[in-house]
Amino acid sequence: MRLDTILRWFMPREERFHELLAADTQNLLRAARLFVEIAGTTGTLEDRNVRVLQLKAIEHEGDQITRQIFEALNSTFITPFDREDIRWIATDIDDVLDALEGVAQHLILFELNEAPEALRQFAAILLEMTEQIGRSTDLVWDMANAKQIQDSVVRISELENRADSLYGTMIASLFKGDGHSPTEIMKWKVVYDGLEDACDLCKDFTHVLGNVVLKNA
């Protein structure tokens, strides 16, 4: 084996991980945009189901990208930054995507074809959160971008606080008896629980990103 080939194997493969994580965040953003459409669908349940099936396909693509990242970690001797941080970034992105797809599936399983304002607000919050995840992940390869990364972290935290407030308002409204049957109340509670969990997972992502900045600044 030639010396230059051996040296390339030992050198950090930053471009490889940069491309894979960029693909991962773009896939997540596609999912969030589609979820906005799902949340706003006001036609038949079948109309919503068509989009949920599309979201399932995007979720499957995300699984494939995550697998490629893990394979790259296992085959690369030196990584651009701590390999566990790369693993957690990929895992958190995958978890957010899974949560979005899970909520969408519950809308279909529970036969919920309404598009209440709170559902659409949650979808908008999650869309902006995923935009910030994509932005900050793209910036993390250069620690000169630490200030911009921190701005994204702060914005995601603000959005998570807004989601918490929205969740509390909706749960209180559901149990005040606004015309929903007990069964419908429990169905919507599961949906809103899932949406809050998705927002919490976006916040978890910022903890990992913050660790990367602290270790490499």
Tell me how far apart the alpha carbons of residues 38 and 114 are, in angstroms, rounded to a whole number: 10
What three-state secondary structure class fits 44?
A: coil
pLDDT attached to residue 48: 93
Tell me how far apart the alpha carbons of residues 3 and 83 are, in angstroms, rounded to a whole number: 25
Write down all domains in the chain, each with its CATH number in brackets: 14-216 (1.20.58.220)
Tell me how far apart the alpha carbons of residues 60 and 211 are, in angstroms, rounded to a whole number: 28
**CB-based burial, 176-199: b 16+ in 10 Å, e otherwise:** eeeeeeeeebebbebbbebbbebb
**What's the burial of 163, exposed, middle or buried (CB within 10 Å: 0-12/13-18/19+)?**
buried
pLDDT attached to residue 8: 44
Pick out the chain residues at pLDDT < 50: 1-12
pLDDT attached to residue 175: 85
pLDDT attached to residue 13: 52
